[in-house]
Structure 1
């Protein structure tokens, strides 16, 4: 008996429409990235805007005041620390192969890591030789940052209106639930992002104080690395320990052991004291799930994918939970 597969015109149309939409979204990925980062910034800053609104400022004026404060703070901190930071960073990259050499020799891994050591030296030498060009390239990112903050300002000013207009795209009986989902996303992602900023600052500050007490060279860039890598849960602190230990073991074995103990202590304080306080409103991920999400993001989209993997997953889980409630 012959079987005929019948594909309706509607199925073909829907399939072509889905493929076309996917292609369009891929072509617009840069714009989507800007909008997503702008949304994250808006979610992080919204509580401060609400605080200023309670002080009888209009929402537009509150956003302007907040942005002026951020600009002044950025320029003040930058003027005070950017010059010594770049100076230390240049020297740090130049000497990093020697630091790793000391670390490898201390643990007796010369034969095992000889080729890897040479490759690291080659890569680091290339990095140190291109610090100026990398700096110039970083300045080109100013356009991206300005664009992101302009979109974030727009979102902040019209936040409530945008949420209402988005909810109105759905049937009336679903609009209340959609608003609740948006509220959950706003609360959880905003809390997560603000918590991450607090963690990055706290870990960076504790690392800086500890490294200065231990008299470790290049304490400022090493502390900044530790603070920045805090955005990668579980993985970041381990990675941050490696360059710090390499520098410390080049000074003395005791200093090296002290730095490893310092980073273990900082991580324990973070996990048992800071994280429960600053992350209590955000959804906690299983450590294994977190690492899988970060590694997947890094594999698909590089460093930016690793950085955005957790908030994207958090948004997705929140939306799925809302849809499940919707279907009940």
Structure 2
């Protein structure tokens, strides 16, 4: 004889409440995660930059490991090679680059004076100049001192963040499987295969984008140096180095480097400034129509509108770190959307 149940079955209203709680719970966790990410935005940006550095180290160590070298030896060899490259570069060109950067710092006020003199020749320029003088942004010396102090503090914080970034990247590159398994463990078991595939796709796409970006930066720096040397521009080494580094920031980086190059040339004369402008335009055209199509055959391609929007959106959300990391953040976003949403749509290709 079957014994009767000791507990009565749950009422329909209680079952509906449980179902609603099961649906609301994940949303509450998601909102809590978004709020926590917003509070820790600076930390997350630093960790993400460290992840990019770790991907660079792993990409450099992969050929050594493919030839049978132990992972415990490949990474130290890569780090030693990078340190030797930096020391050698400073030994051969560091002194000249330091002198040119110092000369650039002394040339900028002269370039600014030449720019103001050039603007004074036109009615619109005179109106803008009077508007700037009426604002008097640096009339209050206390404000100027506060600005200098804030800049010094920001520079000190940037050095500390750079050191921490390098340490994070080295630790991530030394044992990536441990962190990968840890992230996958946080996912419910039915979703762990999807999480593993998504992490692998994210690492692959970010590595390909970094490699393509490195090629673009090298080409832009080299072409800028060659062009400025041909027209006889001063400070060729420092300006080409700045142009190559600013190529990492899409759209706005080339504009800033172009303004700087033209401004330095304007201090020597309007004719040289026009030639410098033509050099900047020619380098960007060559990078956009020759280098990028070749790189995008094996690197990640981002539509231009998405690239521009990424700088604006991530810059508003995360400030200067968001601007500097806008493109890899957009690559990460596109990969996550593709793996977690697009591939799961009915009829989507595998």
TM-score range, shorter chain: 0.7 to 0.9
Deviation at 1:299, TM superposition (A): 2.6
- After superposition, where does 1:58-69 map in structure 2 within 5 Å? 58-69=70-81
Residues 141 and 60 (structure 1 numbering): CA distance in 2 closer, same or farther, change over 3 Å? farther
Residue pair 1:44, 1:191 contacting (<8 A) in 2 also: no
Deviation at 1:51, TM superposition (A): 1.0
Match of 2:245 among 225, 228, 237: 228
User: Counterpart in 1 of 2:343?
Assistant: 325
Q: Note the alpha carbon deviations across 1:146-181, whole angstroms, 9 max, x for none.
A: 221222122212224433443454455644443332
Residue pair 1:187, 1:281 contacting (<8 A) in 2 also: no
Which sits farther off after the overlay, 284-293 or 159-168? 159-168
Which sits farther off after the overlay, 317-326 or 132-141? 132-141
User: Counterpart in 1 of 2:13?
Assistant: none
User: Counterpart in 1 of 2:108?
Assistant: 93
User: Counterpart in 1 of 2:314?
Assistant: 297
Q: 1:190 aligned to 2:207?
A: yes
Deviation at 1:141, TM superposition (A): 3.1
Deviation at 1:37, TM superposition (A): 0.6
Structure 1 portions without partners, runs of 5+: 1-5
Structure 2 portions without partners, runs of 5+: 1-15
Deviation at 1:53, TM superposition (A): 1.2
Could you say what the CA RMSD is over the residues aligned between the two structures, in angstroms? 3.4
Q: Note the alpha carbon deviations across 1:283-302, whole angstroms, 9 max, x for none.
A: 32222222122122223322
Match of 1:39 among 51, 54, 60: 51
The whole-number CA distance in structure 1 between the counterparts of 2:310 and 2:26 is 31
Residues 251 and 184 (structure 1 numbering): CA distance in 2 closer, same or farther, change over 3 Å? same
User: Counterpart in 1 of 2:197?
Assistant: 180
Residue pair 1:205, 1:223 contacting (<8 A) in 2 also: yes
Residue pair 1:88, 1:221 contacting (<8 A) in 2 also: no
Deviation at 1:319, TM superposition (A): 1.0
